[in-house]
Chains A and B, each alone.
Chain A
């Protein structure tokens, strides 16, 4: 018995040593080969000025900022499209999954065609398709205008944006008002009426105070058409929209199937029992079937979400400045291919592991609550 254990430990140790040896050999070979090619190794290139301009970024970025900042802006772009994609794909996918089970043959037929078309064609093709469609929108001079408040053209969708001219003092008030409002809502649900009313009144007073003190400070900024573009307002670029449409439509098709499967996994006895209690179909779905189906659906959803995050790198085909695009450009300009690819892998790993970690936490919490 002891002998076998020693053997097992020995094998483990030898295995670990072998792995470390392989890692060291590969690294020294890599560094040696790179040195032979007169290439330096290291990440100091990230602190050099990038020189390039990024088409769209969440925060203002100048060409003189470093590659590191460009990468941060690009990661935020990836997160932006991934979060929007996950939310939209979940909503659309769930709706379509439920409609596929409808007794209405037209609804069932249309949603089946949707799922089969979007699930069975390559995502890259779909993204290029959306991009080509958006390029066919009217030119900027013929932009479709909604009462000069919003514009739709090849340059994307221009929307008015909320501008806060006053100082930060407004924000705490607004946040406090919102928090009180949420708390009041939650208390009302728990049937704690007196406290709910008190908090609700407080929220309303705070909100009024904020609005009153913000008179003239809060404004809505309209997009203004110039010769070659728009100034002011908020822009959804065609690249972002095409990528988002592609990711959403594609992932929603898979989510629809997962939702449909999850609902079908609930024994029909649950429906019958609920019906005998006099519940309507919608109520049964919301209160009885979906909560149970969620246990089946969630783990499969996780891989769809992770897939969506990774698929967002197809942005490079249509010029949306995402993580993949920014690091590829940095590699080309600086020649640090190995470090760039490593950095890219780490960034995507953080994003995907973060997504699946969050989903797993949610799932295990739900299971625990259910077991109680």
Chain B
């Protein structure tokens, strides 16, 4: 009898409240720190520098969101995620936002309870091979062993490519960047396939980077961007507009250095963006100066790209499609009005 009563009480205690959960913004503010799902083993996306501080484009955008929410870019906890656990970490609420060179796909946007904000890098899936193989194209690699992350869209694309070209391959997939890279560098795989950002990153940390070449083949488009949970439009808007203002700041030539003087700009859009119209961001749940804080502490897109992927980094990736629309690229922020 007593046991049964105990069990019922235990059951009632175990049941979490079904009531509507608090908004992500309220949760983040109450916690006082943003929890960002990133990766800490891929230079360019996220990896520690010589001082042990994480650097990379995905890391920068986490910091930018913290700057917008708290006015302090340092209020972030970075949670390392792998390709296999990244979505469940976000679904379960362990992180507030996932910024981890994740490719926007129809299925990921619709079927797993998550949604993408906007693209922060237009990438493409490619193939990295050892220069000594002499391969000029993926089509030269019949019978090759291919390193690929399990559960990545690259895994699906490479299967499609080899099937449609009537070629054979053996996939090697390990859910750990270091282990998979070791397999490639030791020669277990002939090819490493994935987004070119990640391939350049792998190449940059090879013992002799010139021993490896990224093939010209483009297997698939790969728009990379932040993801949040579905059903919280306010939080989705925050992430989306933090990205947009970095585009807009580049377009308006506002940098980390000149953002203070830009607050008194004669351009009405710049003034609005930097907090000149009090109350404009009230519905977003942020302070009027949130965009100012983002640019002041992180910078515009050009500055972020240069530091993490471009000439200021070890990857030296050309901007390619990641130029402003006005320069012939794809970056385009809607007006701040």
- The interface of chain A, by Cβ under 8 A from chain B, is 7, 10-11, 14-15, 17-19, 21-22, 25-26, 29, 32-33, 36-39, 51-56, 62-64, 132, 135-136, 139-140, 154-155, 226-229, 231, 238-239, 316-319, 321, 325, 328-329, 331-335, 337
Q: With contacts A18-B11, A25-B11, A154-B188 known, is A332 near B151, CB below 8 A?
A: yes
Chain A residues positioned under 8 Å from B111 (CB to CB): 334-335
What are 24 A-to-B residue pairs whose CB atoms are below 8 Å? A11-B3, A15-B7, A22-B11, A29-B18, A33-B16, A33-B18, A37-B113, A38-B113, A38-B231, A39-B91, A51-B156, A51-B160, A52-B159, A63-B160, A239-B172, A317-B179, A325-B173, A328-B84, A329-B84, A329-B150, A332-B86, A333-B107, A334-B111, A335-B91
| Pair B87/A332 contact, Cβ less than 8 Å | yes
- Which of A18, A38, A63 contacts B4 (CB under 8 A)? A18
Given contacts A135-B183, A229-B143, A317-B179, is CB(A333)–CB(B188) below 8 Å? no
C-beta contact mask, B182-210 vs A, less than 8 Å → 1, else 0? 11001110100000000000000000000
Q: Is B143 in contact with A63, judged by CB distance below 8 angstroms?
A: no
B115 to nearest A CB, angstroms? 9
- Is B53's beta carbon under 8 Å from chain A? no
Nearest chain-B residue to A336 (Cβ)?
B112
The answer to whether A17 touches B183 (Cβ under 8 A) is no
Look across to chain A and name the residue whose beta carbon is closest to the beta carbon of B176.
Answer: A317
Residues of B within 8 A of A52 (CB): 150-151, 155-156, 159, 171
Q: Are B170 and A14 in contact (CB under 8 A)?
A: no
B151 near A139 (CB under 8 angstroms)? Answer: no
Whether the Cβ atoms of A135 and B87 lie closer than 8 Å is no
Which of chain A's residues have a CB closer than 8 A to the CB of B175? 316, 328
Min CB distance B313 to A, Å, is 29
Q: Is B281 an interface residue (CB 8 A)?
A: no
Complex interface: chain B residues within 8 A of A53 (CB): 155, 158-159, 169, 171
Interface residues of B in 49-102 (CB under 8 A from A): 83-88, 91
Find out whether the CB atom of B173 lies under 8 angstroms from the CB atom of A55.
Answer: yes
User: Nearest 3 CB-CB pairs, A to B?
Assistant: A335-B112, A332-B151, A63-B159
Minimum C-beta distance from A143 to chain B (A): 11
Query: B residues within 8 A CB of A328?
Result: 84, 150-151, 175
Q: How far is the CB of B93 from chain A (nearest CB, A)?
A: 9
Q: Are B18 and A319 in contact (CB under 8 A)?
A: no
Q: B: which residues have CB within 8 A of A?
A: 1, 3-4, 7-8, 10-12, 14-16, 18, 21, 83-88, 91, 107, 111-114, 133, 141-145, 150-151, 155-156, 158-160, 163, 169-176, 179-180, 182-183, 186-188, 190, 229-231
What is the distance, in angstroms, from A8's C-beta to the closest C-beta of chain B? 10
Q: Which residues of A contact B183 (CB under 8 A)?
A: 135, 319
Whole-angstrom distance between the alpha carbons of A36 and B92 in the complex? 11
Q: Indicate whether A317 sits within 8 Å of B174 (C-beta atoms), given known contacts A26-B15, A52-B159, A329-B150.
A: yes
Partner of A318, one of B11, B18, B174: B174
- Besides the contacts A226-B143, A316-B175, what 13 more A-B pairs have beta carbons closer than 8 Å? A17-B4, A21-B8, A22-B8, A26-B15, A37-B91, A39-B112, A51-B155, A132-B182, A228-B190, A329-B150, A332-B87, A335-B111, A337-B91
- B170 close to A55 (CB less than 8 A): yes
A227 adjacent to B179 (CB under 8 Å): no
The secondary structure that dominates the A interface is helix
Q: A56, A321, A335 — which one has the most chain B CB atoms within 10 A of its CB?
A: A335
CB-nearest residue of chain A relative to B4? Answer: A14
Min Cβ gap A62→B in Å is 7
Q: Which A residues touch B15, using CB under 8 A?
A: 25-26, 29
CA distance A333 to B10 in the complex (A): 35
Bound Cα distance from A292 to B214, whole angstroms? 65
Distance (Å) between the CB of A351 and the closest chain B CB?
22
Q: Given the complex of chains A and B, what is the CA–CA distance between A132 and B183 in angstroms?
A: 9
Contact A37 B229 (CB under 8 A): yes
Query: Which has the most chain B C-beta neighbours within 10 Å: A15, A63, A231?
Result: A63
A19-B7 in contact (CB<8A): yes
Could you say which residues of chain A place their CB within 8 Å of the CB of B7?
15, 18-19, 22
State how many angstroms separate the Cβ of A346 from the closest Cβ of chain B: 19
A42 to B173, CA, bound (A): 27
Contacts of A332 in B (CB 8 A): 83-88, 150-151
**What are the residues of chain A within 8 A of B4 when measuring CB–CB?**
11, 14-15, 17-18
Bound-state CA distance A274–B22 (Å) is 79
Bound-state CA distance A53–B221 (Å) is 20
B160 to chain A, nearest CB (A): 7
